Structure 1
Amino acid sequence: MNVELFREICLSKKGVTETFPFDEHTLVFKVMGKMFALVALERFPPQVNLKCDPERSEMLREEFDGDIIPGYHMSKKHWNTVFLERVPKTLVEELTQHSYDLVVSKMPKKLQAELAAL
Protein backbone atom coordinates (compact mmCIF):
# COMPACT_ATOMS: atom_id res chain seq x y z
CA MET A 1 0.00 0.00 0.00
CA ASN A 2 1.23 3.51 -0.70
CA VAL A 3 0.78 6.69 1.36
CA GLU A 4 -1.89 8.14 -0.96
CA LEU A 5 -4.13 5.09 -0.56
CA PHE A 6 -3.58 5.16 3.20
CA ARG A 7 -4.53 8.86 3.20
CA GLU A 8 -7.76 8.09 1.33
CA ILE A 9 -8.63 5.38 3.86
CA CYS A 10 -8.12 7.78 6.77
CA LEU A 11 -10.04 10.66 5.19
CA SER A 12 -12.99 8.40 4.39
CA LYS A 13 -13.75 8.07 8.10
CA LYS A 14 -16.23 10.35 9.83
CA GLY A 15 -14.86 13.45 11.56
CA VAL A 16 -11.29 13.07 10.28
CA THR A 17 -8.94 15.94 9.47
CA GLU A 18 -5.32 15.94 8.34
CA THR A 19 -2.69 18.33 9.68
CA PHE A 20 1.04 18.92 9.95
CA PRO A 21 1.33 19.90 13.65
CA PHE A 22 4.94 18.78 14.15
CA ASP A 23 6.73 19.51 10.88
CA GLU A 24 6.19 19.41 7.12
CA HIS A 25 7.23 15.74 6.94
CA THR A 26 4.79 14.19 9.41
CA LEU A 27 1.17 14.00 8.28
CA VAL A 28 -1.22 13.52 11.21
CA PHE A 29 -4.80 12.28 11.00
CA LYS A 30 -7.18 13.26 13.79
CA VAL A 31 -10.75 12.34 14.60
CA MET A 32 -12.51 15.22 16.36
CA GLY A 33 -9.11 16.71 17.18
CA LYS A 34 -7.62 13.49 18.61
CA MET A 35 -4.69 11.82 16.85
CA PHE A 36 -5.15 8.27 15.53
CA ALA A 37 -2.56 7.99 12.72
CA LEU A 38 0.75 9.57 11.74
CA VAL A 39 2.58 9.16 8.45
CA ALA A 40 6.28 9.84 8.00
CA LEU A 41 6.23 11.24 4.46
CA GLU A 42 9.98 11.16 3.86
CA ARG A 43 10.71 7.72 5.26
CA PHE A 44 11.30 4.77 3.00
CA PRO A 45 9.78 2.29 3.01
CA PRO A 46 6.49 4.07 3.80
CA GLN A 47 5.39 3.68 7.40
CA VAL A 48 2.57 4.80 9.65
CA ASN A 49 2.05 4.95 13.40
CA LEU A 50 -1.29 3.60 14.60
CA LYS A 51 -2.73 3.30 18.07
CA CYS A 52 -3.33 -0.28 19.17
CA ASP A 53 -4.56 -2.25 22.15
CA PRO A 54 -1.38 -3.24 24.10
CA GLU A 55 -2.07 -7.00 24.06
CA ARG A 56 -2.83 -6.96 20.36
CA SER A 57 0.30 -4.88 19.74
CA GLU A 58 2.48 -7.62 21.22
CA MET A 59 0.83 -10.33 19.12
CA LEU A 60 1.14 -8.28 15.92
CA ARG A 61 4.81 -7.50 16.58
CA GLU A 62 5.54 -11.20 17.01
CA GLU A 63 3.54 -12.30 13.98
CA PHE A 64 4.86 -9.53 11.70
CA ASP A 65 8.38 -9.37 13.13
CA GLY A 66 10.15 -6.35 11.66
CA ASP A 67 7.09 -5.24 9.66
CA ILE A 68 5.13 -4.06 12.69
CA ILE A 69 7.33 -2.61 15.41
CA PRO A 70 6.88 -0.49 18.55
CA GLY A 71 5.74 3.03 17.63
CA TYR A 72 8.56 5.26 16.45
CA HIS A 73 8.74 8.33 18.74
CA MET A 74 5.49 7.22 20.42
CA SER A 75 4.39 5.27 23.48
CA LYS A 76 5.73 1.78 22.76
CA LYS A 77 2.85 0.29 24.72
CA HIS A 78 0.00 1.94 22.81
CA TRP A 79 1.40 2.65 19.33
CA ASN A 80 2.81 0.53 16.51
CA THR A 81 4.78 1.53 13.45
CA VAL A 82 3.45 -0.38 10.44
CA PHE A 83 5.45 -0.66 7.21
CA LEU A 84 2.78 -0.13 4.56
CA GLU A 85 4.41 -2.13 1.77
CA ARG A 86 5.22 -5.13 3.95
CA VAL A 87 1.84 -6.04 5.47
CA PRO A 88 -1.38 -6.95 3.68
CA LYS A 89 -3.64 -4.06 2.64
CA THR A 90 -6.56 -5.60 4.51
CA LEU A 91 -4.53 -5.64 7.72
CA VAL A 92 -3.55 -1.97 7.29
CA GLU A 93 -7.22 -1.11 6.80
CA GLU A 94 -8.21 -3.16 9.86
CA LEU A 95 -5.49 -1.63 12.06
CA THR A 96 -6.43 1.88 10.90
CA GLN A 97 -10.06 1.24 11.85
CA HIS A 98 -8.90 -0.23 15.19
CA SER A 99 -6.84 2.89 15.92
CA TYR A 100 -9.75 5.16 14.97
CA ASP A 101 -12.17 3.15 17.14
CA LEU A 102 -9.80 3.18 20.14
CA VAL A 103 -9.47 6.96 19.99
CA VAL A 104 -13.23 7.46 19.60
CA SER A 105 -13.95 5.11 22.53
CA LYS A 106 -11.78 7.24 24.84
CA MET A 107 -13.48 10.52 23.90
CA PRO A 108 -15.90 12.20 26.27
CA LYS A 109 -19.53 11.25 25.59
CA LYS A 110 -20.28 14.78 24.39
CA LEU A 111 -17.58 14.56 21.70
CA GLN A 112 -18.76 11.07 20.72
CA ALA A 113 -22.28 12.47 20.29
CA GLU A 114 -20.96 15.31 18.11
CA LEU A 115 -19.13 12.76 15.96
CA ALA A 116 -22.25 10.60 15.64
CA ALA A 117 -24.24 13.66 14.53
CA LEU A 118 -21.90 14.38 11.59
Structure 2
Amino acid sequence: MDGETIQKHAAARTEELPGAYLDHPFGPDWEVFKVRGKVFMLQTRITGEPLVVLKARPADGAALREAYPDITPGYHMNKRHWITLNPGGKFDKQLVEDLVTESYLLVVEQNLPRREQPVDPNTFGQAPHEPETGRT
Protein backbone atom coordinates (compact mmCIF):
# COMPACT_ATOMS: atom_id res chain seq x y z
CA MET A 1 0.00 0.00 0.00
CA ASP A 2 1.38 3.41 -0.86
CA GLY A 3 1.93 6.02 1.84
CA GLU A 4 -0.78 8.38 0.60
CA THR A 5 -3.34 5.59 0.89
CA ILE A 6 -2.12 4.56 4.34
CA GLN A 7 -2.44 8.15 5.56
CA LYS A 8 -5.88 8.52 3.97
CA HIS A 9 -7.23 5.34 5.62
CA ALA A 10 -5.67 6.22 8.98
CA ALA A 11 -7.08 9.78 8.97
CA ALA A 12 -10.52 8.54 7.90
CA ARG A 13 -10.59 6.11 10.83
CA THR A 14 -9.90 8.92 13.32
CA GLU A 15 -13.09 10.65 12.20
CA GLU A 16 -15.06 7.70 13.64
CA LEU A 17 -13.36 7.80 17.06
CA PRO A 18 -15.18 9.76 19.80
CA GLY A 19 -13.29 12.84 20.94
CA ALA A 20 -10.52 12.51 18.33
CA TYR A 21 -9.30 15.66 16.61
CA LEU A 22 -6.49 16.95 14.41
CA ASP A 23 -3.94 19.46 15.69
CA HIS A 24 -0.69 21.00 14.34
CA PRO A 25 1.39 21.79 17.47
CA PHE A 26 4.68 21.02 15.65
CA GLY A 27 3.92 23.10 12.56
CA PRO A 28 2.35 22.34 9.19
CA ASP A 29 4.63 19.36 8.45
CA TRP A 30 3.06 17.26 11.19
CA GLU A 31 -0.58 16.21 11.53
CA VAL A 32 -1.10 15.26 15.16
CA PHE A 33 -4.24 13.36 16.11
CA LYS A 34 -5.29 13.60 19.74
CA VAL A 35 -7.98 12.52 22.13
CA ARG A 36 -8.57 14.83 25.11
CA GLY A 37 -5.17 16.47 24.49
CA LYS A 38 -3.20 13.21 24.30
CA VAL A 39 -1.46 12.14 21.07
CA PHE A 40 -2.41 8.79 19.57
CA MET A 41 -1.32 9.23 15.93
CA LEU A 42 1.03 11.41 13.89
CA GLN A 43 1.33 11.79 10.14
CA THR A 44 4.13 13.50 8.24
CA ARG A 45 5.97 13.63 4.94
CA ILE A 46 9.05 15.20 6.52
CA THR A 47 11.26 12.29 5.41
CA GLY A 48 10.09 12.64 1.82
CA GLU A 49 7.65 9.75 2.19
CA PRO A 50 4.23 9.72 3.88
CA LEU A 51 4.48 8.11 7.33
CA VAL A 52 1.93 7.17 9.98
CA VAL A 53 3.16 6.86 13.58
CA LEU A 54 0.99 5.00 16.11
CA LYS A 55 1.17 3.89 19.72
CA ALA A 56 1.39 0.12 20.31
CA ARG A 57 1.90 -2.21 23.24
CA PRO A 58 5.60 -3.18 23.25
CA ALA A 59 4.92 -6.88 22.56
CA ASP A 60 2.47 -6.04 19.78
CA GLY A 61 4.89 -3.56 18.24
CA ALA A 62 7.67 -6.17 18.22
CA ALA A 63 5.39 -8.78 16.62
CA LEU A 64 4.21 -6.29 13.98
CA ARG A 65 7.77 -5.26 13.12
CA GLU A 66 8.70 -8.92 12.73
CA ALA A 67 5.67 -9.72 10.55
CA TYR A 68 5.78 -6.61 8.36
CA PRO A 69 9.12 -5.21 7.10
CA ASP A 70 7.46 -1.83 6.46
CA ILE A 71 6.43 -1.42 10.09
CA THR A 72 9.38 0.08 11.94
CA PRO A 73 10.01 1.66 15.36
CA GLY A 74 8.22 4.98 15.88
CA TYR A 75 9.79 7.84 13.95
CA HIS A 76 10.96 10.47 16.49
CA MET A 77 9.03 8.67 19.24
CA ASN A 78 9.79 6.13 21.95
CA LYS A 79 10.88 3.11 19.90
CA ARG A 80 9.39 0.65 22.40
CA HIS A 81 5.90 2.15 22.53
CA TRP A 82 5.40 3.56 19.02
CA ILE A 83 5.49 2.11 15.50
CA THR A 84 5.71 3.66 12.05
CA LEU A 85 3.75 2.47 9.01
CA ASN A 86 5.93 3.07 5.97
CA PRO A 87 4.87 3.13 2.31
CA GLY A 88 5.06 -0.12 0.36
CA GLY A 89 3.83 -2.30 3.18
CA LYS A 90 1.77 -5.38 2.47
CA PHE A 91 -0.91 -4.34 4.93
CA ASP A 92 -4.53 -3.76 4.02
CA LYS A 93 -7.06 -1.09 4.95
CA GLN A 94 -8.47 -3.18 7.81
CA LEU A 95 -5.05 -3.57 9.46
CA VAL A 96 -4.42 0.19 9.21
CA GLU A 97 -7.83 0.92 10.75
CA ASP A 98 -7.28 -1.68 13.51
CA LEU A 99 -3.87 -0.22 14.39
CA VAL A 100 -5.30 3.32 14.57
CA THR A 101 -8.13 2.10 16.80
CA GLU A 102 -5.73 0.20 19.05
CA SER A 103 -3.48 3.26 19.38
CA TYR A 104 -6.49 5.41 20.30
CA LEU A 105 -7.71 2.89 22.90
CA LEU A 106 -4.24 2.56 24.45
CA VAL A 107 -4.05 6.31 24.95
CA VAL A 108 -7.58 6.46 26.35
CA GLU A 109 -6.87 3.58 28.75
CA GLN A 110 -3.35 4.52 29.83
CA ASN A 111 -3.31 8.33 29.71
CA LEU A 112 -6.79 9.54 30.60
CA PRO A 113 -8.54 9.39 33.97
CA ARG A 114 -11.72 7.32 33.75
CA ARG A 115 -13.95 10.41 34.07
CA GLU A 116 -12.28 11.92 30.95
CA GLN A 117 -12.42 8.79 28.80
CA PRO A 118 -14.80 9.37 25.84
CA VAL A 119 -15.27 5.58 25.55
CA ASP A 120 -14.77 2.51 27.72
CA PRO A 121 -11.59 1.00 26.25
CA ASN A 122 -12.67 -2.47 27.44
CA THR A 123 -15.93 -2.52 25.50
CA PHE A 124 -15.42 -0.04 22.63
CA GLY A 125 -16.44 -1.54 19.29
CA GLN A 126 -18.24 -4.53 20.78
CA ALA A 127 -21.84 -5.11 19.83
CA PRO A 128 -24.20 -4.47 22.73
CA HIS A 129 -25.80 -7.58 24.19
CA GLU A 130 -29.52 -7.95 23.64
CA PRO A 131 -31.44 -8.37 26.89
CA GLU A 132 -33.15 -11.70 27.39
CA THR A 133 -36.89 -11.42 26.71
CA GLY A 134 -37.87 -14.66 28.42
CA ARG A 135 -39.82 -15.77 25.33
CA THR A 136 -39.31 -19.21 23.86
TM bracket (short chain): 0.7 to 0.9
Matched, 1:68 2:54: no
- CA shift in 2, pair 1:56/1:5, >3 Å: closer
Q: Does 1:110 align with 2:115?
A: yes
User: How do 1:1-118 and structure 2 match up within 5 A?
Assistant: 1-65=5-69, 67-83=70-86, 85-86=88-89, 87-106=91-110, 107-112=112-117, 115-116=118-119
> Using the alignment, how far apart are the partners of 1:95 and 1:42 within structure 2?
22
Unaligned runs of 5+ in 1: none
TM normalised by structure 1 equals: 0.87
- Rounded Cα–Cα distance in structure 2 between residues aligned with 1:23 and 1:63: 33
SS of equivalent residue, structure 2 residue 96: helix
Larger-gyration structure (1/2): 2
Distance 1:84 1:10 in 2: 19
Name whichever structure is richer in helix by fraction.
1
What value does the CA root-mean-square deviation take over the aligned residues?
Answer: 1.5
Q: Which residue of 1 aligns with 2:125?
A: none
81 and 2 in structure 1: CA distance in 2 versus 1, 3 angstrom threshold: closer
Following the alignment from structure 1 to structure 2, what is the Cα–Cα distance between the partners of residues 99 and 14?
13
Give the count of matched residue pairs.
113
Higher strand residue share = 1
Q: Which runs of 5+ in 2 are unaligned?
A: 120-136
